Amino acid sequence: MMTTVQRRDSPDVPVTPRHAEGEDISILPRIFEDDISIAILHRRLPQEIQAGVNAQLQADRALSISWLGPPGDALRSELRRRLQDPDACGALIEDIVTLAEAMAYLFDTDSVGLRLRRLASAMCPRFHCDHLPVRLVTTYHGPGCEWLPEWAVNRQGLGAPRPDKPEIVDDPSAVRRLGTGDLALLKSSGWIGNEEHALVHRSPDLPAGHQRLLLTLDPA
| Residue-by-residue pLDDT tens, the chain, 220 positions | 344 444 444 444 445 679 999 999 999 999 999 999 999 999 999 999 999 999 999 998 889 999 999 999 999 999 999 999 999 999 999 999 999 999 999 999 999 999 999 998 777 788 999 999 999 999 999 999 999 998 888 888 888 888 888 888 888 899 999 999 999 999 999 999 999 999 999 999 888 889 999 999 999 9
CATH of the structural domain 14-219, one choice from 3.30.420, 2.60.120, 3.30.70, 3.90.930: 2.60.120
pTM listed for this prediction? 0.89
Q: How far apart (Å, rounded) are the C-alpha atoms in residues 34 and 214?
A: 27
**What pLDDT score does 136 carry?**
98
**Exposure string for 120-147, b = 16+ CB within 10 A, e = fewer:** eeeeeeebbbbebbbbbbbbbbbbbbbb
**What pLDDT score does 48 carry?**
97
